Amino acid sequence: MGSVLGLTPLACGALVALFYPPLAVFYLVALAVHYFYKYPEHRPKSFKIIICSLIFLIPALFVLYVFLAFSGHLGFLNSVFSKIFYRSLTGNYIPQYNFYNIIPWPAILFSIIGLPYVFKNKKWLFWLFILGTIFWIFYVFSPEMFIIEYPRVVLFTSILAVIIAGFGMKKAELKWPAFKNLEILGIIAFLIFLPFYTQRENWQKLILVDYSTGSKIYAKSPANNYLTQDDLKIFSKFDGKRFLSVPWKGTVLGVATKNYPVSIKDGTIALEQDLYFEFSAIDCGQKQKLAKNRNIDYIYSLPFSCQNFEKIDQSSEGFALYKIND
User: What strands, in cross-sheet order, belong to the sheet with 94-95?
Assistant: 94-95, 208-209, 216-217
pLDDT per residue over 126-179, tens digit each? 988 999 999 999 998 888 888 888 989 999 999 999 999 999 998 888 888 888
Neighbours of 71 (CB within 10 A): 9
Residue 305 half-sphere exposure toward CB, CA atoms < 13 A: 2
Q: Could you tell me if 230 and 316 are in contact, meaning their C-beta atoms sit under 8 angstroms apart?
A: yes
Length of the chain counted residue by residue: 326
- For CA atoms 197, 198, 201, 204, the dihedral sign is positive
Neighbours of 74 (CB within 10 A): 12
How far apart, in whole angstroms, are the C-alpha atoms of residue 195 and residue 198?
8
DSSP H helices in 72-149? 74-84, 99-102, 105-121, 123-141
Q: Residue 5 pLDDT more than 60?
A: no
Q: Residue 199 pLDDT more than 90?
A: no
> Which pTM was predicted?
0.60
Q: Tell me the domain boundaries of the chain.
A: 2-195, 229-324
DSSP symbols for 196-248: GGGG--GGGG--EE-TTT--EEPPPPSTT-SS-HHHHHHHTT--S-EEEE-HH
- pLDDT band at residue 2, thresholds of 50, 70 and 90? very low
Q: Could you tell me if 123 and 32 are in contact, meaning their C-beta atoms sit under 8 angstroms apart?
A: no
At 6 the pLDDT is 46
Q: At what angle do helices 123-141 and 105-121 cross, to 10 degrees?
A: 130
How far apart, in whole angstroms, are the C-alpha atoms of residue 178 and residue 44?
48
pLDDT per residue over 36-46, tens digit each? 777 666 666 66
